[in-house]
Homo-oligomer: A and B are copies of this chain.
Amino acid sequence: MKVIRDIKQMSLACQRLRRKGKSIGFVPTMGALHAGHLSLVKEAGRVNDIVVVSIFVNPMQFAPQEDFRRYPRPIKKDIALCRKSGVDFVFYPDAVAMYPEGFQTSVAVERLSRVLCGKSRPRHFRGVTTVVAKLFNVIQPEVAYFGQKDAQQAIIIQRMSADLNFPLRIKIMPTIREKDGLAISSRNIYLSRQERKEALVLSQSLDLAKGLIKNGIKDAHKIIAKMEQFIKSRKSASVDYISIVEAAGLKPVKKICGDCLIALAVWIGKTRLIDNAIIRNA
């Protein structure tokens, strides 16, 4: 396994591989790798000749008050995990090389970026799509892998990739959860023991919603109200948003119907966590 920091060197290495007819599977990450990331790496290895993992805590997707500085960066552990998981290249650029002086280009997916998390984090997705476009150009993968845990991000990147005609496929892999149901996230590390327990309200409120839907309740407003009520029963939890939207266009629905996405963001103490569930053919 090679760790490459230089952008040009990474780009040339990938071009060489492509010319040899090797297919590249790409897993972009911000490091702090966990079982979710590793499920993407595993799938990338199953399907492609070469697996590239990028590790880059992207400053452009954090607002000033957010946790950019505090975001975990266990780089040695990450590299060891990659090695153990059969990764071929770790691309680990630094921020000055990615955003040199004079940098001023952005890639934005307009409507899809304004809803859900985009409301509480107005420039977040613009940062995500810009860095992902850059990484796609450096790596030029055949397939790029993202997790369903970041449902809106997955949809936005699919849209960006199709709209800009990137010659690659996007594969979205299922959310990986702890045994008790908590969606695995690099930010779970921020939680105190008490908060860790209360963080279960995210997945549990989704289960609650699924139960209601199974019992024939279709009114989105009613379901959201029940979820909110449930989440509020936990001391450290405060709802950022709970939305039920069309799975494809992310437009709010009044009645559960077709493929819907139930997405929520909840503050557990000072940690903002997200989770979601897709309801198919409701």
User: Which A residues contact B (CB, under 8 angstroms)?
Assistant: 7, 11, 15, 18-19, 21, 102-112, 129-130, 133-135, 137-138, 140, 159-160, 163-167, 249
Contacts and interface: CB of A to CB of B under 8 A. Distances in A.
Contacts of A102: 159, 249
Nearest to A137: B165
Contacts of A11: 165, 167
Contacts of A21: 19
Contacts of A129: 105
B108 A106 contact: yes
Contacts of A107: 105-107, 133, 164
In the assembly, how many copies of this chain are there? 2
A100 to B, nearest CB: 8
A134 B164 contact: yes
B104 A105 contact: no
Contacts of A110: 104-106
A102 B138 CA distance: 27
A74 to B, nearest CB: 26
Nearest to A135: B165
Nearest to A99: B163
Given A19-B18, A21-B19, A138 B165 contact: yes
A125 to B, nearest CB: 11
14 contacts: A11-B165, A11-B167, A18-B18, A19-B19, A102-B159, A103-B163, A107-B133, A133-B164, A134-B165, A135-B165, A137-B164, A137-B165, A137-B167, A138-B165
Given A104-B109, A105-B109, 14 more contacts: A11-B167, A15-B167, A19-B19, A19-B21, A103-B163, A104-B110, A104-B159, A104-B163, A105-B159, A105-B163, A106-B107, A107-B133, A134-B163, A138-B167
A7 B164 CA distance: 11
